[in-house]
Amino acid sequence: MDKLKKMESKKIMEAQESVHLADLHLPEDLRDLSYTQCRQLCREIRTTLVNTVSKTGGHLASNLGVVELTMALHRCFHSPEDKIVWDVGHQSYTHKLLTGRLDRFPTLRQENGISGFPKPSESEHDAFVSGHSSTSISVACGMAASMRLNQQDHYAVAVIGDGAMTGGMVYEGLNNGGKVPDNLIVILNDNHMSISKNVGALAKYLASIRGKEGYVKTKWAVERTLDKTPVLGKPLAKVLKTSKDTLRNTLYHQSTLFDNLGFVYLGPVNGHNLEELEEVLQVAKSYHRPVLVHVNTVKGKGYMPAEKNPGEYHGISKFDVMTGNPEVSVDTCFSTVFGQELARLGREDQRICAITAAMKYGTGLQFFASECRDRFFDVGIAEQHAVTFAASLASMGHLPVFAVYSSFLQRAYDQLLHDVAISNLHVVLGIDRAGIVGEDGETHQGLFDVSLVSSIPNSTIYAPLCYEELRTCLKKALYEDKGLVCIRYPRGVDQSEPAFREPSLTLSHYRKGGRILLVTYGRIFNEMVRAQVALAAEGICCDMLRLTRIFPLLPQAVAAMQEYDQVIFFEEGVKTGGIASQVGDALLESGFRGRYSSVAVQGFVKQASVAGSLEHAGLSASKMSDYVKGAVHGHAT
């Protein structure tokens, strides 16, 4: 009977303390809540995350893992005066919910909705734009330095995952940040994973200190005991605080890499225990110098399918909440076809090596890794190292293939130019997610690789239309071409018409007897085909030219264009420095007497569906058709 009364009493107390996100003025009200209320909010946040991402798609596992950490940060720090910088930023969904964006959260990653990444134009609580890895410590260093220069007693806090710690820029930031007495705090969110499983020496190093939670707990227990000791307690506690190295060496006979770089190291602590998190964050604040707090979390925490398979739920499409199954399961796409073909070639040729920057599954290299394990290299989130590593393999007679997302390749331009091209080393790049990628927005669109790579001497670029052409291009890139060779292909599945799937390594010219020539390459050729059909129905006859090798520009492509009165180039890439602008220059130099114009992407492309983004850029079938009609009547823009 007593037990039943206690249970009823507990339920009444919990009901009296009930609180909901919608009722709070955030983030300010968080600091007035009890731990019971905070834990209740954490449950509500996890439910909101799962329900929303199941409808919009997005990054789920990483966000589920930082719910308590984000809550603790906003209770211990005062945003926006204190700056919280999220590395990569894909784990900032809880931060968005706790900074007043609950009502807009259903628009996550949708056109005109809230971004899946931090965006200062969206909220004053988003301290810095981020979408790529390993930048947060450098950003926080600059903010902390600015606060010191402006005599502001605020904090700059970088939240970075252990996966992002494999990026070299992290150590540039740590090396710089540990030298100065700024209010800089780095939160190392250690969930044992990046997108693919963490690899390398750093992962082993973190594992070596991950289990030693006793250090911080023992240190706090000793300090609290000394604080309560009459007369000598507080002075001794102060000495202990400034003598942390002595205590650590006494307990574990070691100092950490972070200590040696000039940071106070605290941790590891349980990243799902609010009391522990808040205590360590308050201790970190009290130092008023660079501090690194090592926090252990579980990726996917609170949603069993994501906990069991955090890699699959890192970035996921829409899914069924009850089963965890995605609405659309795509077993075959450009990434998997590339990976499978590379694995097939790798079985036959021991010279072929495959390289990924922590994206084994995202780029389809799991097949090669399984069959050619000794020649598969996951270098972590280190695109610069990956390119130079590939160049070195090439210099020793191997055939290295680096599969990388287009937007991540941007980080390795110097290595492509200096380490590969100058020596004309034979390196093959599989440029995945080329073109518009959709809901991830500005930071992830693959629109700059053509402009970047085509500025590099001794480079070749292919843009296959379909799976079979992708296989053909890969084989030619490995065995016939020299120097830097790039094969770029889009996210998703082959949507080309079967009638146009005959593989080509150069160009394909489709004649209908028209005096207008439409030119493009890659995925949007599908849109051009539909535009041509629509135009023909209105009495406007157009021929088509599809380029497969898009750089260097083929002389026969320029010659084919000379036959027409009007040439219009459509390009799913940036206008400046793209192939369309290079074609314009080549036609001008050749004395072309017809009219030439082009449609390409200008500026950054915000989040929207791929179809919506193509429409906005003038690259959908209907927009192409409208442009051609305008060009025919002399008023194209």
How far apart, in whole angstroms, are the C-alpha atoms of residue 630 and residue 637?
Answer: 8
Please give the pLDDT value at position 351.
98
Residue 354 to residue 377: CA distance in whole angstroms:
6
For residue 317, what pLDDT is reported? 80
Q: What is the pLDDT of residue 198?
A: 54
Residue among 492, 386, 387, 379 at smallest CA distance from 438? 492
What's the pLDDT score for residue 251? 41
Report angle CA 231, 232, 235 to the nearest 5 degrees: 115
Cα–Cα distance between 472 and 307 in angstroms, integer?
Answer: 39
Q: Is 45 in a helix, a strand, or coil? A: helix
Query: What is the β-pairing status of strands 264-270 and 291-296?
Result: parallel
Q: Is 295 exposed, middle or buried (0-12, 13-18, 19+ CB in 10 A)?
A: buried
At residue 225, the pLDDT reads 46
Instruction: Give 175-228 pLDDT, tens digit per residue.
Output: 999 988 999 999 999 987 655 555 556 556 666 655 454 445 545 544 554 455
In this prediction, residue 330 carries a pLDDT of 55
Asked if residues 265 and 216 have their Cβ atoms less than 8 Å apart, the reply is no
Burial environment of residue 272 by CB neighbours within 10 A (0 to 12, 13 to 18, 19 or more) = buried
- What are 38's two structure tokens? 């905070």
Angle at 447 between CA 172 and CA 606, to 5 degrees: 90
Residues forming beta bridges with residue 460, ordered by sequence position:
485
Report residues of the chain scoring pLDDT below 70. 1-16, 193-254, 323, 325-330, 635-637
Specify the long-range contacts of residues 500-503, CB closer than 8 Å, at least 24 apart: 500/465, 500/466, 500/525, 500/529, 500/546, 501/465, 501/466, 501/468, 501/469, 503/464, 503/466, 503/468, 503/469, 503/471, 503/472
Of 407, 441, 432, 431, nearest in space to 491 by CA: 432
CA-based nearest residue to 408, from 377, 424, 430, 376: 430
> Where is 403: in which H helix or E strand?
strand 399-405
Q: Is there a contact between 351 and 398 (Cβ–Cβ < 8 Å)? A: yes
For residue 191, the model assigns a pLDDT of 86
Give the CA count within 13 Å in the CB-facing half-sphere of 563: 15
Longest Cα–Cα distance in the chain: 100
The whole-number pLDDT of residue 26 equals: 96
- Buried/exposed 126-154: b ≥16 CB within 10 Å, e otherwise: bbbbbbbbbbbbbbbbbbbbebbeeeeeb
What is the C-alpha separation between 215 and 522, in angstroms, rounded?
56
> What is the pLDDT at residue 272?
97
**What pLDDT does 4 receive?**
56
Burial class, 433, CB count within 10 angstroms (exposed 0-12 / middle 13-18 / buried 19+): buried
Number of other residues whose CB lies within 10 A of the CB of residue 484: 27
**Which amino acids are annotated catalytic?**
299, 383, 411
Q: Could you give the 3-state DSSP secondary structure of residue 572?
A: strand
Q: What is the bridge-based pairing of β-strands 484-488 and 507-510?
A: unpaired
pLDDT at 434: 97
The Cα 245–Cα 223 span in angstroms is 15
Please provide the distance, in angstroms rounded to a whole number, between the alpha carbons at the two ends of the chain.
82
d(CA 513, CA 509): 12
> Measuring CA to CA, how many Å separate 23 from each of 18, 29, 32, 165?
10, 10, 13, 37
Which pairing describes strands 352-356 and 399-405: parallel, antiparallel, or unpaired?
Answer: parallel
Helix (H, G, I), strand (E, B) or coil at 292: strand
In a 13 Å sphere around the CA of 623, the CA atoms on its Cβ side amount to 18
Alpha carbon distance 398, 351 (integer Å): 5
- Its pTM stands at 0.84
Please report where in the chains the tokens 């058709």 appear, as a residue: 625
